[in-house]
A and B are shown apart, each in its own frame.
Chain A
Amino acid sequence: MKRVHLFDWHKEHAKKVEEFAGWEMPIWYSSIKEEHLAVRNGVGIFDVSHMGEIFFRGKDALKFLQYVTTNDIAKPPAISGTYTLVLNERGAVKDETLVFNMGNDTYMMVCDSDAFEKLYAWFISIKRAIEQYTDLDLEIENKTYDMAMFSIQGPKARDIAMELFGIEINQLWWFQAKEVELDGIKMILSRSGYTGENGFEVYFEDANPYHPDESKRGKPEKALYVWEKILEVGAKYGIKPCGLGARDTLRLEAGYTLYGNETKELQLLSTDIDEVTPLQANLEFAIFWDKEFIGKEALLKQKERGLPSKMVHFKMVDKGIPRAGYKVYKDGKEIGEVTSGTMSPLLGIGIGIAFVKPEYAVPGVEIEVEIRGQKKKAVTVSPPFYDPKKYGAFREE
């Protein structure tokens, strides 16, 4: 099983440590609800060092990344990040990623913990194919096990960034990053997160006692120092270490897609367009059509033919908690399937995301979700699930 730098700390402090996508990770320290509400009302810190980091270096790095991902990463100057998708050749999402332009022809891709290995192999195979015909100035390196990544989220995250790094995160645009230093430890800080709240994430390299490469193992002194320092400074704001349980309920309340649930490669055999495409998952905002990229033709074809299904958010009207795999009905007819569902810790109702026939993928449609043989009433809504005036990064202060 894969482990992050601070696994031992988590094992000691978390009530639930469990396997997630091949990683042994803290699921909750005290309780999902408590951690969830700490982030909505104050601040929480997540160790997300299981996220993948792949580095691209060289004169051809930008061109290469423009071709293997969907968004335009050429525009922003260093250091800034772009949310961009990696698609397969038939248009389905291989992963949702953030690519940071670090300057000096260097780019860092942050990708999902259960996708970095397949992505790395995919990029290497494409690079080799190109190199059959022409020289490439491009080095691709997987640094997932070396990079520590912490996510500090919630309305009080801003105060912590100010106190520790002297940075007003509200002056950064979303995904913009800066080099910062904490007591001699250099790191990248980006305004980003996956909870719907304001917040920031820090990335830095450190020894990992569980690195698969034995020669790179060692005490994670920097990671432990940074983690404990943030907890110490955050104490006055009631900071809580948060596990992957709250990470999932928070992202779902915000309405964000999760690779593996909403976005994935179904590897359909009988068609030239694979699912799930970004068009189906409401991710067209991350597609820059004025360039060539892998999967583009399939998307154009799918636009012409129409979508087989489309993503929609819904909340339960009846009691009950939707879960991935449950069937969705309209007037007794099956129209789709739930891909994510939970009890919203903030709202106390069941919420979820489903893929349904496109005509129903609009807010305000009364649907039913089959829970253990019973059809329960639900209604489609626009995300986020919470009132954005009261919660989230754009709340009214």
Chain B
Amino acid sequence: MIEVGEYKVKEGLYYTKEHEWAQVLDDGTVLVGISDYAQKELGDVAYVELPEVGKEVSQGDVLCEIESVKAVSEVYAPVSGEVVEVNGELEDSPEKINEDPYGAWIAKIKPSNLEEDLKNLMTAEQYAEYLKSL
């Protein structure tokens, strides 16, 4: 983990400016979640409206909504592709996102344009620098 002040950045993941992370798995699919910074900004996550399996998204599209006690926030797709799996555990335990932001993945995407999409994302080191600039 890279630490930027109180925020942790997990190495080996890709990040967006909107604070989603993407983890490319060995089978070529991509797990998506939100960063430690994002969960701290949101506060207590109260509800995750998981995307539907089969949903097609382009990079930057709204993937789903996360609600904190206080407000609704959108989660953007870090890569284009099809949602092939969602983390059903979050339905009953949305607080996992606060407890373990890099473990509590939201959706698994089968990417359609991975190589190009990754060029638009930040590495952990770049994201850590980005956080310092905020």
Contacts and interface: CB of A to CB of B under 8 A. Distances in A.
Interface of A: 15-16, 27-28, 31-33, 245, 248-249, 319-321, 323, 342-343, 345, 350, 372
Contacts of A350: 47
Interface stretch (B8-16, B62-70, B119-127): B62-70
Contact of A28 (B43, B49, B65, B98): B43
Contact of B47 (A31, A321, A345): A321
B47 A343 contact: yes
B69 A32 contact: yes
B69 A245 contact: yes
B17 interface: no
B65 A245 contact: no
B46 A321 contact: yes
Contacts of A319: 47, 91
B70 A372 contact: no
A27 B71 CA distance: 12
Given A27-B70, A32-B69, A343-B69, A320 B47 contact: yes
Contacts of A249: 69
- Secondary structure at the A interface, as helix, strand, loop or mixed, is mixed
Given A15-B40, A372-B65, A32 B70 contact: yes
A15 B36 CA distance: 14
A127 to B, nearest CB: 39
Given A321-B46, A343-B67, 18 more contacts: A15-B43, A16-B43, A27-B43, A27-B70, A28-B43, A31-B43, A32-B44, A32-B70, A245-B43, A245-B69, A248-B70, A249-B69, A320-B47, A323-B72, A345-B44, A345-B69, A350-B47, A372-B65
Nearest to A342: B69
Contacts of B41: 16
Contacts of B98: 31
13 contacts: A16-B41, A27-B43, A27-B70, A31-B43, A31-B44, A32-B43, A245-B43, A245-B69, A249-B69, A321-B47, A342-B70, A343-B47, A372-B49
A345 to B, nearest CB: 6
A122 to B, nearest CB: 31
Interface string B51-88: 00000000000000101111110000000000000000
Which one of B46, B47, B70, B72 has the greatest number of beta carbons of chain A within 10 Å? Answer: B70
4 smallest CB-CB distances across A and B, nearest first, come from A343-B46, A33-B44, A32-B69, A321-B67
Contacts of A320: 47, 49
Contacts of B44: 31-33, 345
Contact of A245 (B40, B47, B70): B70
Nearest to A246: B69
Contacts of A33: 44, 69
Contacts of A32: 43-44, 68-70
B5 to A, nearest CB: 12
A32 B40 CA distance: 12
Contacts of B49: 320, 372
B83 to A, nearest CB: 17
A33 B70 CA distance: 10
B45 to A, nearest CB: 10
Contacts of A345: 44, 69
B134 to A, nearest CB: 14
A343 B48 CA distance: 12
Contacts of A321: 46-47, 67, 72
Contacts of A372: 49, 65
A196 B40 CA distance: 28
Nearest to A374: B49
A343 B49 CA distance: 14
Which of B43, B49, B98 neighbours the largest number of chain A CB atoms within 10 Å of its CB? B43
Contacts of A248: 70
Contacts of B72: 321, 323
A349 to B, nearest CB: 10
A15 B98 CA distance: 14
Contacts of B40: 15
Interface in B18-49: 40-41, 43-44, 46-47, 49
